[in-house]
Amino acid sequence: MLPESVTKAREILQDVTPLRTDCGLTCGGACCQSLPGETTGMLLFPGEERWYEGRSGYAMTPTDHGMLLTCSGHCDRADRPLSCRLFPLLPLLREDGIKVATDLRARTVCLLAKQGKDALLPEFVAAVREVGRILAEDDDQRAFLAQLTRTQDELKALRRQFRRDAHV
C-alpha cells in the first residue's frame, strides 16, 4: 500500500493537467520519451515504489537521491508516478511554506516549463500547492521535498554562475 499522503497527492493530480488540452500533442510527449542511448526515469516519492513492484513495463534503481523509476514511455493514467503528475512543476519547501515553482530540470525538454507556471492552468498550479501541503505533513515526504528543494536551489545557483561566466 502507498503511504496515505502519497495516495492523496496522486488522487488530487489524477485528472487535473497543466493545460485544458493535451500538451503532449504539441511536443510528441517529450517528457515520456528517452533520448537515444538514455532511459527515461523519474524519482519516486518515499514509499511510492510499492505501486511498481512486480508491475510490468517498469524498472527501479536505487540512487543517492531516491528510487529511480524507468518506464517504457507509455503508461495507464492511474499508474503515473507523482513526479510525472507534478511535471513540469514542483512544490518547494520554503521557510514561509510551500511554493510552487517550475522544475528547472524540465526546461530542456518541456515547452511549458520554458514559459513558466503563469502559462499553466491555475487549477493545476493550485493542485500542486495542495499536494505540497499534504506531503509536508508527512515526515518522510517532507524530507524528500526538502531534498528536491535543495537540488533546485543548486541548479539555480549553477545557472546564475553559468550566465555570469558567459558575460565575462
Residues forming the site for ligand SF4 (CB under 6 A): 18, 23-24, 27, 29-32, 40, 42, 71, 73-75, 80-81, 84, 87-88, 109-112
Q: How far is the CB of 97 from ligand SF4 (least distance, A)?
A: 25
Q: How far is the CB of 119 from ligand SF4 (least distance, A)?
A: 10
Considering the complex, state which of residue 31 and residue 98 has its C-beta at the smaller distance from ligand SF4: 31
- Scored b (16 or more CB within 10 A) or e, 33-49 reads eeeeeeebbbbbbbbbb
Considering the complex, state which of residue 104 and residue 112 has its C-beta at the smaller distance from ligand SF4: 112
Q: How far is the CB of 11 from ligand SF4 (least distance, A)?
A: 16
Considering the complex, state which of residue 77 and residue 133 has its C-beta at the smaller distance from ligand SF4: 77
Considering the complex, state which of residue 124 and residue 144 has its C-beta at the smaller distance from ligand SF4: 124
Is residue 32 within 8 A of residue 40, CB to CB? The reply is yes
Task: Report residue 98: phi and psi, to 5°.
Answer: -80, 130
- From CA 14, how far away is CA 86, in angstroms rounded? 10
- From CA 66, how far away is CA 43, in angstroms rounded? 6
